[in-house]
Amino acid sequence: MEQVSASRSHGGVQRVYRHASSATGTPMTFSVFVPDHVPGAMLPVVWYLSGLTCTHANVTDKGDYRAACARHGFIFVAPDTSPRGEGVPGDPAGATDFGLGAGFYVDATQAPFDRNYRMWSYVTDELPALVAANFPADMVRQSIIGHSMGGHGALTVGLRHPERFRAVSAFAPIVAPSQVPWGRKALGGYLGADKATWRAHDAVALIEDGARLPELLIDQGEADPFLENQLKPDLLEAACANAGIALTLRRHAGYDHGYYFVSSFMADQLDWHASRLH
């Protein structure tokens, strides 16, 4: 790994690293906050998956998580949202909801995206192994959070790896990508026309097909412009009710989709994670 930057913050150090990824075949960048701790201590790990158009930097710069992570003794890891670099294909029309910055946390099977867009393997296998090998990470105590497209990622990763995560939550997640424009474009482009293959990357479909978690926490702004057309939290609410999953869906009047919203409730979500990670 190459260290890109290091900054002292809230009784810990915020670092950014770059490394050559075998999953994506490209350089990948991620950020890690490690709070001060007793030498030899192993710390719980909170993973954060970001949304459309984002990199690791959005939450690192605007997420307001470091004070809470220092208080609870959490390592906080934020990867990028897609492969990047020369030769990595993007949206043919230049749109921002597919391709660069919009990997949707899947392993693409359709050319030309199958060459680099292997974000599922990156966030579930390669990056966890890298973090475990290089940081004081207690991999028995992990949790995951995501925002928007990253909320979709956090929910699907958590539902497919329930033994790995003690807590799963999201901010304004895309809960049913098979049923909304962003998701249909991305899943069709990366995985092909057979919608049966999409179900493994759709939280509502996974729950309908038997995936289970004990509980979920969702924060959703009621002034979010994407609420009705792209996010549809009511679909997750119904699926969880039918499956017996304890869903806490907190609706916040006046809040939109951006990081003013995320940062307002980040500490609350990390407190919720703390009660399960400790």
Contact between residue 36 and residue 44 where contact means Cβ atoms under 8 Å apart: no
Q: What string of DSSP letters covers 82-100? A: S--STT----TT--SSSBT
**Token reading at 2:** 């190459």
Give, in order, the Cα–Cα distances in Å from 93 to each of 89, 98, 101, 102, 158: 11, 10, 14, 14, 32
E strand or H helix that includes residue 59: helix 56-62
Q: What string of DSSP letters covers 192-228? A: -S-GGGGGGG-HHHHHHTT---SEEEEEEETT-TTII
Among 31, 56, 224, 273, which one carries the catalytic annotation? Answer: 224
Active site residue 72: no
Active site residue 107: no
Active site residue 224: yes
Among 31, 50, 82, 148, which one carries the catalytic annotation? Answer: 148
Rounded Cα distance between 163 and 165, Å, is 6
> Which residues share a beta bridge with 29?
18
Distance between alpha carbon 114 and the CA centroid of its chain, in Å?
A: 20
Residue 12: strand, helix, or coil: strand
Among 72, 152, 257, 273, which one carries the catalytic annotation? Answer: 257
Closest by CA position to 120, among listed 103, 133, 136:
103
Tokens 């290089």 -> residue: 134
Rounded Cα distance between 36 and 183, Å, is 40
Active site residues: 148, 224, 257
